[in-house]
Amino acid sequence: MKSKIIAAVLTLVVLCLTTDVWFFHKAEVTFFTTAPQGAKITLSYRKKPDSKLLILKQKVSKGGSVSFNLKGRTVSWFKIDFPENAVVQKTVFRGWAKKKLTLSDNEYAGKKLCGRISVIWFKFLIISVLAFWTAISSIGVFQNRNVPKEPEKLPKMMNLEFLRIVFTVIVVWHHFVDNFKIWNVGWLGVEFFFILSGFLLVLTFKPEKDFIGFIKNKWIRFTPLTVFGGMMFLVFEQQIDVPRLFVTLFFYARTGLAGDGYNPPAWYISALMIVSGFYFYMMKNMKKETVNLLIAVFVFFGSVYAVRFGDKTIGIINGFFMRGVACVGLGYFLAEIYKLLKEKSVVHQRTYNFVELGIFVFAVLNIVVKPWYAGRVVTCIAFAGVILMFALRKGAVSQFFEKPVFAKMAKYCLAVYLTHFAVCSHVLVRLLAKHGDWILSHSAVSIACVLLSVVVLGVFAHHVIEKPASKALKEWLG
């Protein structure tokens, strides 16, 4: 109970600090004029006598009326500019009460007008839930800090976790560096994760696993961060769309059935869950030869569609979804190749080292340096090559990155990916609108600050949101 009271107090503090987001004053002034329909009207007004001049423009509607929404607790003065020969017949101000105003030469300078209070309830609710959820989870983490923890289980291929870190940064980079006029095709980094997921799906596949259990584990793994990131994104939206909430919660964004949910990067999770679930079901219930043939067909047609039409939706076929179909399938065959090569010895070690380094460098620079870019197909082949060579661990580069530190760092990648978009889109856009000249003139510092902020947010979300919520969901769902 004590922790809940503390969390409630902290929630109130957060609500007080974010009043500009969910609470404001507004008013409406309507002019009934003789101006023709479609004529452009300009309204200039001040909230206080010494405040800056604000200007709004609006077109006259049918019947000669034109309305302006004014923000602020008060309005001390306003003036309206009309086309020639038009006159104001009546002026109505709606704040706390409806008032008829008298203008002098299309100008009002009478008693101070007061706007009414307005609350955006869905933003109030979202901020309250986010603040309370974060506070109660943070308190729980703090209280359990001295509880003995189970030894952390590290993945068998720790160098693949290093690659996960690299390509997570590249995808995050893509979502904001366009503002700095820096070329990149970092969105192709998602293909790397599709291929890696298909590769690991095969290596971790166990026939005794239950299909429903497979999907349930995926849903538990992805839901807390997807919902958290979506709620952060929704705070900046002007209205709430219920269908988009269902898209976010049940992971069918960009599948051809729906567009984006309230966490745009989570389209990757939607495609991954559906495609990997389908491939898992095939692997569990069909003969190996049949699975190989079907997945080969899916890879071919998925790749053709992605190359020809990109992310376009044609009928029920969606480009985002087809990228998952093709690349997860490519990872499936990559795992089969790995099984054949893992026991083979390297004859020319120096040549192998050189090739391994070359593929790794090309796979990274190909999507961040324009002269290196060689197209979608070559990029995916490069991703497959670097995954295979790192998994084999026969070269100097892959062996160098086979360290526990990278596996420990990579556990934050999912949290960074699913929570970064609100920072890289909404927050950065608003900062650019207010301080654009400084941000662009100090681009190196600004980029470093954005990357640092999304990493800090991801680390926080992993410990405070992902781990407690995933544990609670596992206990709830059994």
Domains of the chain and any CATH numbers? 25-119 (2.60.60), 150-477 (no CATH)
Contact 95, 115 (CB under 8 A): yes
Contact in structure between 294 and 282 (CB atoms under 8 Å) = yes
Looking at residue 97, its pLDDT comes to 82
CA pair distance 159, 406, nearest whole angstrom = 7
pLDDT tens digits, one per residue of 36-49: 888 888 999 998 88
pLDDT score recorded for residue 143: 78
| pLDDT higher than threshold 80 for residue 93 | yes
Give pLDDT, residue 189.
95
pLDDT of 299 = 96
If pLDDT is split at 50, 70 and 90, which confidence band does 324 have?
very high
Give tens-digit pLDDT for 264-293.
Answer: 999 999 999 999 999 999 999 999 999 999
pLDDT at 351 over 80: yes
Q: What pLDDT score was predicted for residue 418?
A: 96
Q: Read off the amino acid at residue 262.
A: Y
Give yes or no for a contact between 387 and 163, defined as CB atoms under 8 angstroms apart. yes
290 or 178, which is more confident: 290
Mean pLDDT of 3-11: 89
Per-residue pLDDT tens over the stretch 379-437: 999 999 999 999 999 999 999 999 999 999 999 999 999 999 999 988 998 899 889 89
**Residue 84 pLDDT more than 90?**
no
- Cα angle 262, 265, 271 (rounded to 5 degrees) comes to 100
The terminus-to-terminus CA distance of the chain in angstroms comes to 26
150: confidence class by pLDDT, cuts 50, 70, 90: low
- The residue count of the chain comes to 478
pLDDT tier, 149 (very low <50, low <70, confident <90, very high otherwise): low
- Give pTM, 2 decimals: 0.86
pLDDT in the model for residue 383: 97
pLDDT for residue 171: 96
Q: Calculate the average pLDDT of the chain.
A: 90
Q: What is residue 90's three-state secondary structure? A: strand
Cα–Cα distance for residue pair 431/429, rounded to 1 Å:
5
Q: What is the pLDDT of residues 18-75, one digit of tens each?
A: 888 888 888 999 999 888 888 888 999 998 888 888 999 988 888 888 999 988 888 9
pLDDT digits (tens, 9 = 90+) for 219-269: 999 999 999 999 998 888 878 888 888 888 888 888 777 778 889 999 999
pLDDT at 147 over 70: no
Amino acid sitting at position 397: V
Check pLDDT > 90 for residue 86. no
Q: State yes or no: pLDDT of 363 exceeds 90.
A: yes
Query: What angle (nearest 5°) sits at the alpha carbon of residue 157, between those of residues 207 and 174?
Result: 105
- Report whether pLDDT(354) > 80: yes
pLDDT-derived band at 89, boundaries 50, 70, 90: confident
Residue 81, pLDDT > 90, answer no
